[in-house]
């Protein structure tokens, strides 16, 4: 598989859970409306402690609030290719960038 390290954009403790709630709602709307996300339809959403969005080819992205830092946790993995991993990361990041409270990542891949 092709995975990312844990990517953690800054997000203040007092707003990070609200940001995650908005991200979950965005993904739920995309799935409901059968929108294409990262080049494919959303096959599954798991909304326990954040959201894991799974594309038809099994590529997935996870967003949740960090439990002990003023950050979000973002992880992406693809069983297909590094290109699909990149596409999913960029699509997840685009959703996060709708929230101005989300800052820079602590690392890149």
pLDDT of residue 82: 97
What is the rounded end-to-end Cα distance, in angstroms, of the chain?
Answer: 15
Q: Which CATH topology does 2-96 take?
A: TATA-Binding Protein (3.30.310)
Distance CA 66, CA 89 (A): 18
The mean pLDDT value for 31-43 works out to 97
pLDDT in tens, 40-65: 999 999 999 999 999 999 999 999 99
**C-alpha distances in Å from residue 68, one per residue of 13, 16, 41, 100:** 9, 11, 33, 21
Two tokens, residue 96: 């996060």
Banded pLDDT at 109 (limits 50, 70, 90): confident
Q: Could you tell me the pLDDT band of residue 13, with boundaries at 50, 70 and 90?
A: very high
C-alpha torsion sign, points 67, 89, 55, 57: negative
């Amino acid at each position: 598989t092709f995975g990312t390290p844990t990517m953690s954009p800054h997000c203040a403790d007092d707003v990070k859970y609200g940001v995650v709630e908005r991200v979950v709602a965005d993904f739920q709307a995309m799935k409901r409306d059968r929108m294409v996300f990262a080049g494919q339809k959303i096959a599954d959403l798991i909304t326990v402690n954040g959201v894991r969005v799974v594309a038809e080819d099994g590529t997935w992205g996870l967003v949740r609030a960090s439990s002990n830092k003023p950050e979000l946790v973002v992880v992406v993995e693809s069983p297909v290719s590094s290109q699909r991993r990149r596409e999913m990361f960029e699509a997840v990041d685009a959703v996060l960038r709708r929230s101005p409270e989300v800052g820079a990542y602590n690392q890149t891949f």
